[in-house]
Amino acid sequence: IAEGVGPRLPSVLAGIPTYEPGRPAPVGERPSWKLSSNENPYPPLPGVLDAAVAAAGQLNRYPDLTCAALTRALAEHWDVPMDHIAFGTGSIGLIQQLVQISAESGDEIIYAWRPFESYPIVAEISGARSIQVPLTEDEAHDLDAMADAVTDRTRLIFLCTPNNPTGRVLHRTDVVRFLDRIPEQVLVVIDEAYVEFVRDPDAVNALDMYRTRPNVVALRTFSKAYGLAGLRIGYAVAHEPVAAALRKTAVALGVSTIAQSAALASLQREDELLERVSRLVAERSRMREALLAQGWSVPDSHANYLWLRLGERSDTFAAACEAAGVMVRPFACEGVRISIGELGGTDALLRVAQDFAPR
Ligand code: PMP
C-alpha cells in the first residue's frame, strides 16, 4: 500500500506519548529482578488462584456487567452505598473515564509534575489542556500552587497519594484546606493506588474525603497490595452521579469473570495480603535506610517504591542496574524509580547505588 494512503487519523495523535510499561528482567542464567513496574512480587494466594481457576470454567459466558458480588462486598467493606462504586479495567481504565466524563476539548486538567504517566496521555487524547504544577523541592505536591492554578476552565484535578513516582503522601489537614479552596464543580480525583503501603498516621484517606464532598473521587486498585496487576481491575468510590457516569463510560463487560472472582477472593483474604504488604514495607525501610547511609537523599516513600533524583545520570544509573540484573524505571534527566520487590533485588540494587553514591 502506498505511503500516505489509509484512514485519516487526527494529527494530534502523533505527538501524544505512548504508555511505556516497566521493562522486564532478562531471562537467562544470571539472577535478575524486575523492580520497574511497582508490582507485588508475591504470587497469588492459593485460595485466590482457586477462585480464578473456577471462574475460568465459565469463559464461554460474558462476565457480570454489574460486578454484583464484588460491589456488594466492597460496599460492606467500606460502608458505602452500592451505587457509589464503579469498576474499570484497572484504575488506568477509570482514569481515562474520569477525563471522559469531566473534560472537553479546551478544558483544563491539573496535576503535579512529574505525574503517574497515564494522566498526561489521557488528558491529551481528550483534547483537554494539561496544567502541570511542579512538585516542591522535597518531592511533594504543591497544593497551594495547584489551587492557585484553578480557572473557570478547570474540570478535573488529579492528586496522587502516595505520589508516583516520589512516594510522598498528602496529609489530611492539607487536603482539607485544599478542597475548601476548590469549587464544587471541579472533580478532584484522589488516586490511592498504593494506599495499603502507607504508614503515616497523618496521611489523608480518600474515602474520608469523599464521604462529605460530592466532587471527590477515591480511586483504588487490586493491582498493587492485592497483587492482581495481571487481571486489570480497579474501582472508584464517588457520589452517585459521578459513579453512574463512570459505569456508563466503562468498556461494557470489560472486567472479566476471573478478575471479579479473584478480587472477591482477595478481599476475603485481606489479612494475609496485608501481612505481605507489611513485609514489603519493612523491605522499603531497609532499602531506604541503606541508601541514606550511602549519602543519597531519598524522599520518605509510603508506597512500594523509592525515588532517586539522579538528573542527567538517570539513564546511566538504570543501565548500570540492568548490567547487574536489576531492572529499574528511569525518567530521562529526572530520576529513577525503584520498586520494592524480592530481597535479592534490594541487595543487588544497593551494590550499584554504592558506586553512584553522591559522596
Ligand atoms: N495510579 C497510579 C498512581 C499508578 O501508579 C498506577 C499503576 N502504575 C495506576 C494508577 C494504575 O494501576 P492499575 O491500572 O493497574 O489499577
Global ipTM:
0.99
Task: Read off the C-alpha cell for 92.
Answer: 488506568
Return the best residue to mutate from 141, 161, 224, 301 for the ligand 1 pocket (most ligand atoms within 8 A of CB).
Answer: 224
Distance 93 CA to ligand 1 centre (A): 9
Distance 92 CA to ligand 1 centre (A): 6
Task: Read off the C-alpha cell for 353.
Answer: 547505588
Task: Read off the C-alpha cell for 156.
Answer: 478535573
Return the best residue to mutate from 118, 169, 228 for the ligand 1 pocket (most ligand atoms within 8 A of CB).
Answer: 118
Return the best residue to mutate from 87, 94, 96, 116 for the ligand 1 pocket (most ligand atoms within 8 A of CB).
Answer: 116
Does the C-beta of 304 come closer than 6 Å to ligand 1? no
Atom of ligand 1 nearest to the CA of 89: 14
E strands within the chain?
33-34, 85-88, 108-113, 129-134, 154-160, 187-191, 216-221, 234-237, 305-308, 326-327, 329-331, 335-339
Does the C-beta of 192 come closer than 6 Å to ligand 1? no
Does the C-beta of 40 come closer than 6 Å to ligand 1? no
- The reported pLDDT for the residue numbered 4 is 79
- pLDDT tens-digit readout, 160-183: 999 999 999 999 999 999 999 999
Q: Following CA atoms 154, 159, 164, 170 in sequence, which dihedral angle do they give, to the nearest 10 degrees? A: 150
* Distances, alpha carbon 192 to alpha carbons 18, 91, 239, 245, 250, in Å: 23, 10, 17, 20, 20
SS3 content of the chain, % helix, strand, coil (to 5): 45, 15, 40
- Which pTM does this prediction carry? 0.97
Does the C-beta of 231 come closer than 6 Å to ligand 1? no
Return the best residue to mutate from 87, 97, 119, 164 for the ligand 1 pocket (most ligand atoms within 8 A of CB).
Answer: 164
pLDDT per residue as tens, the chain (359 positions): 888 788 888 888 888 989 988 888 878 878 899 999 999 999 999 999 999 999 999 999 999 999 999 999 999 999 999 999 999 999 999 999 999 999 999 999 999 999 999 999 999 999 999 999 999 999 999 999 999 999 999 999 999 999 999 999 999 999 999 999 999 999 999 999 999 999 999 999 999 999 999 999 999 999 999 999 999 999 999 999 999 999 999 999 999 999 999 999 999 999 999 999 999 999 999 999 999 999 999 999 999 999 999 999 999 999 999 999 999 999 999 999 999 988 899 999 999 999 999 87
Return the best residue to mutate from 221, 228, 302 for the ligand 1 pocket (most ligand atoms within 8 A of CB).
Answer: 221
Spatial CA neighbour of 159 closest among 127, 193, 202: 193
Does the C-beta of 197 come closer than 6 Å to ligand 1? no
State CA 252 to chain mean position distance. Answer: 22
- The reported pLDDT for the residue numbered 274 is 98
Q: Measured between alpha carbons, how far is 284 from 43 in angstroms, rounded to an integer? A: 19
Q: Which residue type is seen at 19?
A: Y
Spatial CA neighbour of 338 closest among 307, 359, 295: 307
* Distances, alpha carbon 30 to alpha carbons 26, 42, 52, 85, 324, in Å: 9, 21, 32, 45, 9
Are 112 and 134 spatial neighbours (Cβ–Cβ below 8 Å)? Answer: yes
Atom of ligand 1 nearest to the CA of 93: 14
- The reported pLDDT for the residue numbered 24 is 85
Distance 220 CA to ligand 1 centre (A): 9
- The reported pLDDT for the residue numbered 97 is 98
Does the C-beta of 234 come closer than 6 Å to ligand 1? yes
Does the C-beta of 339 come closer than 6 Å to ligand 1? no
Distance 295 CA to ligand 1 centre (A): 30
Q: Look at ligand 1, atom 12, and give the residue with the nearest C-alpha.
A: 91
